[in-house]
C-alpha cells in the first residue's frame, strides 16, 4: 500500500513538472502573436493588441525567439482630462486669435492684397504698404503657431487616449469612454534573442527589446480598471 502511494506521488509530481514546463508566460504569447502578425503584415490583427509593428520590409521577419529578460514595471500618470482641457484651451486661443486677425485683415484689406501680389511677383511693396507687410507677416506667423499648438495638443491626447482605449477594451467589444478617467500607464520591457530573416533574405540573430504597456484607469471614485498588455514599441537592443 505504501509503495503504491509513493508511485502515485511520483507520477503526479512528474505530471505537474511537465505541465509547468509547458506553461507559456503571458509576455511570450503576446510577443509570439506580435511577431507573427508583423511577419504576415496583418494590420487588422495588430490593431487589436499593438500600436506598432516589426515591419518585415525594414526590420525583417522574426522566425523564432527566446525571452531573455522581463524588466521591472514603470508607472506614468495619465491625466487624460488635463490633455483634453489643453486641447480645448489651445482651440479657444486659436479662435480668439482668428477673430483679431480677421478684424485686422478687414481693416487693411486693400493694402494686404497689394502686399500679397508683390510677394507673389517677388517685387518690393510701396512705402505706404511696408508697415502692413511687416504686420501681416507677423499675423501669419502667429496663426501658424496657434495651429501648431492645437495640432500638438490633439496628437498628444489621441496618443494616450488611444493607448488607454485599446488596453481597456475587449476584442470586438465597445470602445471604453476614457475621456473623463484618470490613472496611469504601466510599462515594461521584454528583451528577446530572435532569429531574424533580414529584408535582403539573410539569417541573423538579433536582440530585440519590446515594450508592453497597459492602462490602469478609474472614473471618479470607482474602482480602477486594469487593462490588458499591448505592444507599444519594438526596437533592436544594444
pLDDT of residue 5: 47
Q: Round to whole Å and give the CA distance between 78 and 129.
A: 50
Q: Round to whole Å and give the CA distance between 123 and 32.
A: 63
Q: Cell numbers at residue 150, please?
A: 492645437
**Extents of the domains making up the chain:** 25-79+171-236, 80-163
**What is the three-class DSSP state of 111?**
helix
- In whole angstroms, how large is the CA radius of gyration of the chain? 28
pLDDT of residue 85: 85
Q: Cell numbers at residue 210, please?
A: 519590446
The pTM is what?
A: 0.66
Phi/psi for 108 (5° steps) reads: -130, 30
Q: Round to whole Å and give the CA distance between 60 and 9.
A: 48
pLDDT of residue 40: 94
CATH 3.10.450 holds for 25-79+171-236: yes
Tens digit of each residue's pLDDT (9 = 90 or more) over 50-60:
999 999 999 99
Amino acid at each position: 500500500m505504501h509503495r503504491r502511494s509513493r508511485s502515485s506521488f511520483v507520477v503526479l509530481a512528474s505530471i505537474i513538472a511537465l505541465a509547468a514546463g509547458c506553461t507559456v508566460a503571458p509576455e511570450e504569447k503576446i510577443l509570439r502573436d506580435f511577431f507573427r502578425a508583423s511577419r504576415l503584415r496583418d494590420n487588422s490583427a495588430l490593431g487589436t493588441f499593438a500600436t506598432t509593428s516589426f515591419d518585415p520590409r525594414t526590420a525583417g521577419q522574426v522566425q523564432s525567439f527566446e525571452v531573455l529578460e522581463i524588466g521591472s514595471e514603470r508607472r506614468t500618470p495619465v491625466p487624460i482630462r488635463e490633455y483634453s482641457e489643453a486641447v480645448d484651451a489651445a482651440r479657444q486661443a486659436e479662435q480668439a486669435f482668428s477673430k483679431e486677425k480677421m478684424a485686422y485683415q478687414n481693416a487693411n484689406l486693400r493694402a494686404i492684397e497689394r502686399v500679397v501680389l508683390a510677394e507673389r511677383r517677388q517685387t518690393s511693396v510701396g512705402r505706404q504698404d511696408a508697415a502692413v507687410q511687416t504686420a501681416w507677416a507677423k499675423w501669419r506667423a502667429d496663426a501658424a503657431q496657434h495651429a501648431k499648438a492645437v495640432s500638438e495638443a490633439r496628437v498628444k491626447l489621441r496618443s494616450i487616449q488611444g493607448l488607454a482605449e485599446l488596453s481597456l477594451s475587449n476584442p470586438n467589444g465597445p470602445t471604453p469612454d476614457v475621456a473623463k478617467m484618470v490613472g496611469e500607464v504601466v510599462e515594461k520591457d521584454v528583451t528577446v534573442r530572435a532569429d531574424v530573416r533580414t529584408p535582403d533574405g539573410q539569417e541573423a540573430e538579433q536582440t530585440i527589446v519590446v515594450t508592453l504597456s497597459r492602462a490602469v484607469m478609474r472614473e471618479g471614485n470607482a474602482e480602477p480598471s486594469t487593462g490588458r498588455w499591448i505592444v507599444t514599441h519594438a526596437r533592436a537592443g544594444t
